Structure 1
Amino acid sequence: MRHSHLFLLTSYPSPSVIIPALRTVENIVAGDDLQTQAVIEAGLIAPLVNLLQIAEFDIKKESAWAILNATSCGNNDQIK
């Protein structure tokens, strides 16, 4: 997961590629604390925040959902 999703989130490919990648991350962080921790350790949170700042609306929306899922499903330490 680390290399493929990190590449997809930082290389800014077309929406037809990045939106499914973001939805995958959304689903992972909607799982348990171990899954959320894996996303954190893979370094995917910073690219999500970056996409919120620079991407087009549909990509921003998916990035926001991924962050929302992480903060809704993660434990207190992960949310910090």
Structure 2
Amino acid sequence: MFLPVAVVVLLSFNASQFGSFPMTGLSLRWFVERANNEAILRAFRTSIVLGLLTAVIRRRSASSQALHWCATGSRRAISSPRS
């Protein structure tokens, strides 16, 4: 299941333009080209910001739920109606 991903990662270091075995050499050319691409960098920064924002929101939500459980002694969700 992870073999195709491993092959792509391995071939990303290939010096030739197209992925082939045996590899012609090792190169970081593709990574340097992507590091100089402003659209890729902007997308990377957006992904990092959204990931951090999601983590902060989820952490606050989980903390609020835990405080509710401790205060009420109940494992019932905050938003669920009481029966």
Using the size of structure 2 for normalisation, the TM-score is 0.26
Select the structure with the greater relative contact order (CA < 8 A; seq sep ≥ 6): 1
Q: Decide which structure has the larger Cα Rg and report it.
A: 2
Using the size of structure 1 for normalisation, the TM-score is 0.27
Query: More helix per residue: 1 or 2?
Result: 1
